[in-house]
């Protein structure tokens, strides 16, 4: 059936509604026995109402909808068309006086009612027939699945799954008691989340889909744990924006991941302030190809900078990021710059040519055990000397703002990496004390989900190999946040800073790494009998828990609930000249580096003495 023919058919159907409603209303008025004197009323009414109704349908936008997907918006358009058509009938009612006969008053009610039934019912009947024709054969096919969540997200998901040959919804569970015993699209809501194991057993289902986009991470963890313990495979749907926007599709259902269960509340940022910081300006991101640097570039690009300078030492990382922008954000003006933050000449060239106004310094060596043994001097040069040189260029070329991306490992550091990042924070504080036009700020946070070297991909690889999953210590804990959340809060901190602050991100509750490992093993469908957990012992420079504040630091609140400002120990006036002399000196071994770091950073306390000959394990940081 061609589109033109189908459109003509729909138009003629709506015109036939006038005949049914008008003639049917008159016949009902006279109990289906039409007096001959009312035949002219029937005829003249149709002559007047058919063109009027055609105009009403056009004004109501009735032909924008697709009958197969007829829904509430289409019903609203039908009601609008009926209202216009009824108004035309009222005009006919007021003026018709053929042979002294008036229009029966009962038609004022019968006519619109019959129109709604005919036009709305016809569309609903067509949709039901079409869906049965296309999907009716799918009933009782597919894998039985239990949906957790009987709200709007669950309702949208159930409607999508009705059209899928892969799934068959058998029941729903929800903690809202008012929904128990009721049905959603013909599927029963049996009980609360705690009843999930019994529901899975009674319905002989082995699959669960979490459709709770607005639920807390704790609720999702509880549902996932119950499902996994019952031997089910757990899936989830997209976030709240996609679900509530009606964009849920079967193709978007995916296996649940540990990141979903570590989920944090959605954050807000003060868009006008961030926009004022970024829009129309030249921005420089060092370490642009890294986990945080690349996400920061993507987030900054949304605010329309004049140009975005990508500064990165790794050629491959730089190329990958450039290709992403070419595909997803081709309108952003990029300047792709290969370079090393320790290379003063290259930095002078970049700053002299492009004059960046805001600098986000994300370039750093971050791997704790790797930097601890055999690479301590390189950690000093990259993390501290690199920060000094980029920051001094920012001050020399009158940049508006310099933002250092720091780490919670800089608080009471027990490793070289943390001590070098604390020293980088002190560099920014020293430069801020010198005055000038550049504001120096630091943003400090913990581990990010999905970053290079994160414990999560390491555990995934170990589980895929059949184990064991290695954890350094039974009591070790870490803070986690998502990479997009970290990048957004960095921008927010940069926008609200006045210079000299160390911003601390609210990292939520710490996660016990062994519990993380157990949950990942269960999510993959195994037990600890299948994949064991092995404790390997703390590695060089590693401590059981990370701190966000040093002992001598106090914090004060900011307008943003997830940002606080730490007050750190002040640096001496002669700090920078002495530090520069050390950083620009010759190569030093690990022992010399630790001894000197302890002088520069008094709170640095290595977990082993400077003379110990520790060896690394070569595993990822936790």
**CATH number assigned to the domain comprising residue 573:** 3.40.50.720
In this prediction the pTM is: 0.65
Looking at residue 182, what DSSP letter applies?
A: -
Beta bridge partners of 512: 477
- 100: confidence class by pLDDT, cuts 50, 70, 90: low
Question: First and final CA of the chain: distance in angstroms?
Answer: 62
- 69: confidence class by pLDDT, cuts 50, 70, 90: very low
Q: Among residues of the chain, what percentage have pLDDT more than 90?
A: 26
pLDDT number for residue 245: 41
Domain termination residue (choose one: 110, 135, 160)? 135
Indicate if 335 and 405 belong to the same structural domain: yes
pLDDT number for residue 223: 87
Task: Please choose, from the candidates 118, 106, 130, the residue with its C-alpha nearest in 3D space to the C-alpha of residue 16.
Answer: 118
Pairing of strands 254-255, 477-478: unpaired
**What is the spatial distance between Cα 150 and Cα 157, in angstroms, rounded to a whole number?**
10
**What is the spatial distance between Cα 24 and Cα 42, in angstroms, rounded to a whole number?**
10
Is the CB of residue 501 less than 8 Å from the CB of residue 428? no
Is the CB of residue 424 less than 8 Å from the CB of residue 576? no
**What is the spatial distance between Cα 141 and Cα 363, in angstroms, rounded to a whole number?**
53
pLDDT number for residue 452: 55
pLDDT number for residue 553: 58
620, pLDDT greater than 90: no
Is the CB of residue 303 less than 8 Å from the CB of residue 275? yes
- 310: confidence class by pLDDT, cuts 50, 70, 90: very high
Q: Among residues of the chain, what percentage have pLDDT more than 70?
A: 81
Domain termination residue (choose one: 135, 159, 190)? 135
Residue 409 annotated to the active site: yes
pLDDT number for residue 184: 82
- 31: confidence class by pLDDT, cuts 50, 70, 90: confident
Tell me the per-residue pLDDT of 368-408, one tens digit each, with 9 for 90 and over. 889 999 999 999 999 999 999 999 999 999 999 999 999 88
* Residues sharing a CB contact under 8 Å with residue 39, sequence separation 6 or more, in sequence order: none
Q: What is the mean pLDDT of residues 50-61?
A: 76
Taking each helix axis as running N to C, give the angle between helix 590-600 and helix 416-433, from 0 to 180 degrees, rounded to the nearest 10. 40
Q: What is the mean pLDDT of residues 26-30?
A: 76
Q: What is the mean pLDDT of residues 39-48?
A: 75
- 441: confidence class by pLDDT, cuts 50, 70, 90: very high
Indicate if 251 and 161 belong to the same structural domain: yes
Between 449 and 356, name the one with better pLDDT.
Answer: 356
Domain assignment present for 543: no
Q: Token pair of 580, please?
A: 């520069």
pLDDT number for residue 15: 76
- 618: confidence class by pLDDT, cuts 50, 70, 90: very low
Look-up: residue for tokens 């109501």?
Answer: 60
Indicate if 213 and 326 belong to the same structural domain: no
Indicate if 251 and 300 belong to the same structural domain: no
pLDDT number for residue 616: 35
Domain assignment present for 270: no
Q: Token pair of 538, please?
A: 């703390």
472, pLDDT greater than 50: yes
Indicate if 368 and 487 belong to the same structural domain: yes
H/E run at residue 261 = helix 258-261
Determine the structural domain holding residue 558 and report its residue range: 277-451+480-507+550-600
Indicate if 105 and 233 belong to the same structural domain: no
Indicate if 248 and 282 belong to the same structural domain: no
Indicate if 191 and 130 belong to the same structural domain: no
Domain assignment present for 615: no
- 67: confidence class by pLDDT, cuts 50, 70, 90: very low
Pairing of strands 439-445, 401-407: parallel
Look-up: residue for tokens 């006919």?
Answer: 92
Segment among 353-357, 411-415, 458-462 with least mean pLDDT: 458-462
Indicate if 433 and 497 belong to the same structural domain: yes
Domain assignment present for 533: no
- 242: confidence class by pLDDT, cuts 50, 70, 90: very low
Domain assignment present for 589: yes
Tell me the per-residue pLDDT of 331-345, one tens digit each, with 9 for 90 and over. 999 999 999 999 999
Indicate if 393 and 494 belong to the same structural domain: yes
Domain assignment present for 269: no
Segment among 153-162, 357-366, 529-538, 606-615 with least mean pLDDT: 606-615
Domain assignment present for 265: no
Instruction: Report the domain count for the chain.
Output: 3
250, pLDDT greater than 50: no
Is the CB of residue 565 less than 8 Å from the CB of residue 501? yes
Between 362 and 614, name the one with better pLDDT.
Answer: 362
Domain assignment present for 540: no
Q: What is the mean pLDDT of residues 1-18?
A: 68
Q: Which residue of the set 179, 281, 366, 409 is catalytic?
A: 409
Q: Rounded to a whole number, what is the largest CA-CA distance in the chain?
A: 118
Indicate if 364 and 495 belong to the same structural domain: yes
- 63: confidence class by pLDDT, cuts 50, 70, 90: low
Find how far residue 484's CA is from the centre of its chain: 8
Q: How many helices (H) and strands (E) does the chain have?
A: 22, 22
- Determine the 3-state secondary structure of 511 from DSSP: strand
Domain termination residue (choose one: 111, 135, 159)? 135
Indicate if 382 and 503 belong to the same structural domain: yes
Q: Token pair of 212, please?
A: 């709770």
């Amino acid at each position: 059936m061609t589109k033109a023919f189908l459109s003509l058919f729909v138009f003629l159907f709506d015109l036939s509604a006038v005949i049914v409603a008008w003639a049917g209303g008159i016949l009902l008025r006279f109990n289906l026995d039409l007096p001959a004197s009312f035949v002219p009323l029937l005829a003249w009414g149709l002559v007047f109402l058919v063109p009027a109704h055609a105009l009403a349908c056009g004004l109501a936008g009735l032909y924008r909808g697709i009958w197969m997907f007829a829904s509430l918006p289409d019903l609203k358009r039908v009601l609008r068309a009926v209202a216009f058509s009824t108004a035309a009938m009222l005009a006919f009612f007021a003026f018709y006086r053929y042979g002294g006969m008036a229009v029966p008053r009962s038609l004022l009610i019968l006519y619109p009612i019959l129109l709604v039934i005919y036009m709305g019912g016809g569309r609903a009947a067509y949709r039901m027939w079409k869906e049965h024709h296309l999907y009716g054969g799918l009933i009782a096919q597919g894998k039985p699945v239990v949906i957790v969540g009987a709200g709007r997200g669950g309702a949208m998901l159930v409607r999508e799954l009705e059209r899928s040959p892969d799934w068959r919804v058998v029941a729903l569970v929800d903690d809202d008691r008012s929904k128990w015993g009721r049905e959603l699209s013909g599927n029963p809501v049996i009980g609360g989340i705690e009843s999930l194991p019994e529901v899975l057993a009674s319905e002989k289902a082995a699959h669960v889909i979490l459709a709770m986009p607005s639920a807390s991470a704790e609720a999702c963890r509880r549902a996932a744990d119950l499902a996994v313990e019952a031997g089910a495979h757990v899936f989830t749907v997209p976030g709240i924006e996609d679900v509530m926007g009606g964009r849920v599709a079967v193709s978007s259902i995916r296996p649940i991941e540990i990141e979903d269960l570590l989920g944090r509340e959605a954050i807000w940022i003060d868009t006008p302030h961030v926009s004022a910081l970024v829009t129309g300006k030249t921005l420089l991101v060092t370490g642009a190809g890294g986990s945080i640097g690349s996400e920061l570039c993507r987030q900054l690009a949304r605010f329309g900078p004049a140009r975005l300078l990508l500064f990165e030492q790794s050629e491959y990382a730089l190329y990958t990021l450039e290709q992403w922008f070419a595909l997803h954000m081709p309108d952003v003006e990029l300047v792709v710059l290969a370079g090393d933050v320790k290379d003063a000449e290259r930095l002078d060239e970049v700053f002299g040519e492009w004059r960046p106004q805001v600098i986000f310094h994300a370039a750093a060596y971050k791997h704790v055990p790797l930097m601890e043994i055999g690479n301590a001097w390189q950690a000093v040069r990259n993390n501290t000397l690199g920060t000094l040189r980029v920051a001094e260029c920012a001050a020399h070329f009158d940049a508006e703002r310099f933002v250092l991306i720091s780490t919670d490992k800089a608080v009471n550091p027990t490793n070289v990496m943390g001590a070098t990042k604390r020293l980088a924070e002190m560099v920014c504080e020293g430069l801020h004390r010198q005055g000038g036009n550049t504001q120096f700020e630091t943003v400090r946070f913990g581990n990010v989900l999905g970053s290079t070297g994160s414990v999560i991909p390491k555990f995934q690889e170990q589980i895929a190999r059949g184990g064991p999953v290695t954890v350094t210590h039974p009591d070790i804990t870490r803070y986690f946040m998502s990479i997009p959340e970290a990048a957004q809060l960095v921008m927010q901190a940069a926008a609200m800073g006045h210079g000299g602050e160390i911003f601390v991100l609210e990292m939520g509750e710490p996660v016990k790494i062994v519990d993380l490992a157990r949950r990942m093993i269960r999510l993959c469908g195994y037990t600890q009998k299948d994949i064991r957990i092995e404790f390997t012992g703390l590695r060089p420079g590693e401590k059981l828990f990370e701190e966000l504040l040093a002992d001598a630091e106090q914090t004060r609140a900011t307008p943003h609930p997830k940002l606080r400002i730490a007050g750190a120990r002040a640096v001496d006036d002669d700090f920078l000249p002495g530090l520069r002399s050390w950083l620009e000196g010759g190569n030093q071994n690990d022992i010399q580096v630790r001894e000197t770091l302890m002088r520069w950073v008094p709170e640095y306390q290595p977990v082993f003495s400077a003379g110990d000959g520790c060896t690394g394990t070569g595993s990822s940081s936790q």
